[in-house]
Amino acid sequence: MKFDVSHPDIHEAVWRALEEDIGPGDITSQACVSPEQMAEGCFQAREELVVAGSELLPVIYQMRGGVDEVRLIATSGTRLLAGERVAVVRGKARTLLECERVALNFLQRLSGVATLARAFAKAVADTPCRVLDTRKTTPGLRRLEKMAAAAGGVVNHRMGLYDAVLIKNNHVAAAGGIRQALERARKTGLDVEIEVHSHAELEEALECGAKFILLDNFSPEEAAEHVRFINGRAKVELSGGITLENIRAYAATGADFISCGAITHSARAVDINFRLRLI
């Protein structure tokens, strides 16, 4: 998949990360390294992983200047084994040193998301069910983390509150009930999904014509029973307590989608290192 880094939000995130880390200057590199010294740096996987965010490297180095070449060996979505290279950069040693941590933070975090997403997608690969990501992302990094999730093979759910209608329990409470919430939401002209937490709520939602049901926090056995009751009258998404250990059981319920917040909120940063040599 294409990891598009052209959006202004992404450039702002990179700029903020560089400002946060470098500030008025990398005093260690300035003290130890000649400004004319040139070097080559290599980003390398130290464990099996799925790459995401390597396309950010040209953006990072362009913002700082002083780099002649950024060669991407592995683009987002590529599976690497320990020892395989992600990218090689050539330029001023000071620039490579001052950008090292920011580049690694993005690569390790986003590749961690992609690697976990690939594991979830693989767990349901031979079923009709598809895995969705959620809005449980690092503040300010949602666009990047969702692209990383997609690079790992899951389907992006809504980007934010502005691009899809999902009626949750607090919306129902604020609207005065399921029927009221659905009737008002339909006036948007958009597809409407509604979350339910009991069989009674499910029955009411279906009676009101709901075509997309989110079954939240049910066991696989309970979810399967509800999917049978729905019997094709609505698309079904499952959420709540989904793990790599149980997602297969949830996929076997016949649901169309399973959403999993852990893909972004609990992904472990993977091990990628950076080694520099003088040229």
Answer yes or no: 195 catalytic: yes
CATH architecture for the domain at 155-259? Alpha-Beta Barrel (3.20)
pLDDT mean over 148-171: 96
Global confidence as pTM? 0.95
Q: Which pLDDT value is given to residue 2?
A: 81
Q: Which pLDDT value is given to residue 271?
A: 98
Answer yes or no: 216 catalytic: yes
Q: Say whether pLDDT at 1 is over 80.
A: no
Among the listed residues 145, 201, 216, 237, the single catalytic one is 216
Tens-digit pLDDT profile for residues 187-231: 999 999 999 999 999 999 999 999 999 999 999 999 999 999 999
Q: DSSP character for 270?
A: P
Among the listed residues 135, 136, 179, 235, the single catalytic one is 136
Answer yes or no: 92 catalytic: no
Please say whether the structural domain 8-120+268-278 has been given the CATH code 3.90.1170.20.
yes
Answer yes or no: 233 catalytic: no
The residue extents of the domains of the chain are 8-120+268-278, 155-259
Count CB-CB contacts under 10 A for residue 169.
Answer: 15
Among the listed residues 85, 101, 130, 186, the single catalytic one is 101
Q: Say whether pLDDT at 119 is over 90.
A: yes
Which residues, in sequence order, are CB contacts of 203 under 8 Å at separation 6+?
A: none
Q: Which residues of 228-251 are buried (b: 16+ CB within 10 A; e: fewer)?
A: eebeeebbbbbbbebeeeebeebb
Answer yes or no: 101 catalytic: yes
Among the listed residues 79, 90, 135, 168, the single catalytic one is 168
Tens-digit pLDDT profile for residues 17-48: 999 999 999 999 999 999 999 999 999 999 99
pLDDT mean over 63-84: 97
Q: Edge-to-edge strand order for the sheet containing 192-196?
A: 130-132, 257-259, 235-239, 212-216, 192-196, 165-167
